[in-house]
């Protein structure tokens, strides 16, 4: 099992499964979610209509549309409320849910964004530590963290060391 870090656009890196930082309504949004829906096309949203939402800490799967992947795992991370509302466990659960889906589907590669650290306000260094800790437990041969900015990449690099 290998964990790699990359600075770049998650929608352009070929893997079997791309993780989307989704909202609980599964209705699209900004950030990574918006980028995945724009790049993947309308078929992703059409598939999401079959779901009645997704609880925080969970994930659902769709096809990847026009993305260079087979699947999109739509993971719902927590909104950060100071760390007293079980946010760490919910964030870890979102990553575990994606890994479980990947293992069930037999994927060989998966890419993750930094879940909950954008609009949901999770502190990056803490989120990176949780993400790396959980992803280290997978049997999926290649896990990539595809990070959009240098500061977040530094936090993930530190968590990986």
CA 54 to chain centroid, in Å, comes to 14
Q: 10, 15, 18, 33: which one is catalytic?
A: 33
Other C-beta atoms within 10 Å of 86: how many?
13
Phi-psi region of 89 (alpha: psi -120 to 50; beta: other; left: phi over 0): alpha
**How many Å apart are CA 124 and CA 142, to the nearest integer?**
22
At a CB cut-off of 8 Å and minimum separation 6, what does 94 contact?
56, 57, 58, 59, 75, 76, 77, 78, 115, 116
Other C-beta atoms within 10 Å of 7: how many?
13
* 9 tagged catalytic: no
CB distance 6 to 28 below 8 Å: no
Residues with catalytic function: 33
């Amino acid at each position: 099992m290998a964990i790699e870090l990359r600075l770049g656009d998650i929608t352009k890196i070929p893997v079997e499964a791309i993780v989307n930082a989704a909202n609980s309504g599964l209705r699209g949004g900004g950030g990574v979610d918006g980028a995945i829906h724009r790049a993947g096309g309308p078929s992703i949203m059409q598939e999401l209509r079959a779901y009645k939402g997704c609880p925080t800490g969970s994930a659902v799967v769709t096809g990847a549309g026009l993305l260079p992947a087979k699947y999109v795992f739509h993971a719902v991370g927590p909104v950060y409320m100071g760390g007293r509302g079980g946010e760490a466990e919910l964030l870890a659960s979102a990553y575990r849910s994606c890994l479980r889906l990947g293992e069930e589907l037999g994927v060989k590669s998966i890419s993750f964004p930094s879940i909950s650290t954008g609009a949901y306000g999770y502190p990056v260094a803490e989120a990176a530590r949780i993400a790396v800790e959980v992803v280290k437990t997978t049997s999926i041969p290649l896990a990539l963290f595809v990070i959009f900015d240098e500061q977040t990449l530094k936090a993930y690099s530190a968590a990986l060391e």
